[in-house]
A = this chain, B = another copy of it.
Amino acid sequence: MVWPDTISKRLGVKYPIIQAPMFGVSTVQMVAAAARADCLGSLALADLSADESIELIRETRKLTDKPFAANIFVHHIPEVTDALKEKFDKVRPFLEQLAKDNDIEVKLPDLADLKVRPYHELIDAIIEEHCTILSFTFGNLDEQSIQKLKENGITLIGTCTSVSEALILEKSGIDIICVQGTEAGGHRGTFDPDHVPQIGGLSLLSQVYDHVKTPLIYAGGIYNAKTLNAVNDLGAQAFQVGNLLLASQESALLPFEKERLKKVREDEIILTKSFSGRYARGVKNKYIEAVEGSEYILPYPYQNKLTNALRKAAKFKQNTDFVGIWTGQSIHNYSELSTEEILRNLIFQIQGN
């Protein structure tokens, strides 16, 4: 196949392949390695503070002078109401006890101590650090931010999980849309956390392509030449891979997590909002079974911030039953090679055709 080039030209990379931003898994080393493979790395900043983000951007710059995308969450933050406070006071002790019952001693933070922040301070940091590409998920940027970012020549990549989200992004002038099929791992990029479409890539990408003119990246299920070619047929101009890099040398996953992934069965892959309050695709475990569908889930980002210490403690104890291990539906191709090798192998598979 001939590489589509609308997006790669615009982003300034040789190959239209994007390393997916995977907060907690992708690293500055992974971003740099993707760049060395002449692909686009994505620096996952999620909802870090401006200072933390600036530090990561600068670390990345030390490792590569090639372009990369900064990736942030642009979620709405629910107000702290009395009802939320009341719920928090039930959820925290429940989760602490659940952890304790499973040999994880952890003190979870108070509601007031959760570092919940709007994304706007990140916008300024990204402009000041002269980032050239900003990708985002969980909604659309506000109009003012879009204007400011565009005035600074920053290319904007929004994420959609439905045709209607794609139309919203296009209408507000977002440059590139990343279409996330239900196959993708980790958080669904859906705007409304309570109504998560689960549209398969074949239906989603083809229908988004029929409805918008904006160039499209596709994410979800790509792991070899076959899947990449299929997505190319469906109209994508660029190809985002996440799962393929989950177990790579540059992944922040620990060996016990990589081992768990290699043994995962297809019936263990589920969508859960138990860890963060937003639906994410990953590996079912004891924590998820106890919490999913229960009343012990706060809205995002509160649940996410609350369970952070729990997940860290579980990771420290190498306890697969209480860490969040995210993965998509293509589960048979975790490689422990370097990110650069994995991406170069994928490129070779395509060019060999």
Question: A residues touching B (Cβ–Cβ < 8 Å)?
Answer: 162-164, 181-183, 195, 197-204, 206-207, 209-211, 220-224, 226-227, 229-231, 233-235, 265-267, 328-332
Chain B residue at minimum C-beta to C-beta distance from A201: B202
Are A230 and B234 neighbours in the complex by a CB distance under 8 Å? Answer: yes
Total identical chains: 2
Chain B residue at minimum C-beta to C-beta distance from A182: B200
Are A229 and B220 neighbours in the complex by a CB distance under 8 Å? Answer: no
Are B200 and A181 neighbours in the complex by a CB distance under 8 Å? Answer: yes
Are B231 and A164 neighbours in the complex by a CB distance under 8 Å? Answer: no
Are A221 and B198 neighbours in the complex by a CB distance under 8 Å? Answer: no
Q: Which residues of B contact A266 (CB under 8 A)?
A: 162-164, 197, 199, 207
- Complexed CA–CA distance, A197 and B182 (Å): 12
- Complexed CA–CA distance, A71 and B141 (Å): 49
- Complexed CA–CA distance, A13 and B204 (Å): 30
Are A330 and B206 neighbours in the complex by a CB distance under 8 Å? Answer: yes
Chain B residue at minimum C-beta to C-beta distance from A199: B329
Q: Name the one of B224, B233, B328, B329 contacting A230, with C-beta atoms under 8 angstroms.
A: B233
- Complexed CA–CA distance, A197 and B195 (Å): 19
Are A183 and B203 neighbours in the complex by a CB distance under 8 Å? Answer: yes
Q: Name the one of B183, B195, B197, B209 contacting A199, with C-beta atoms under 8 angstroms.
A: B183
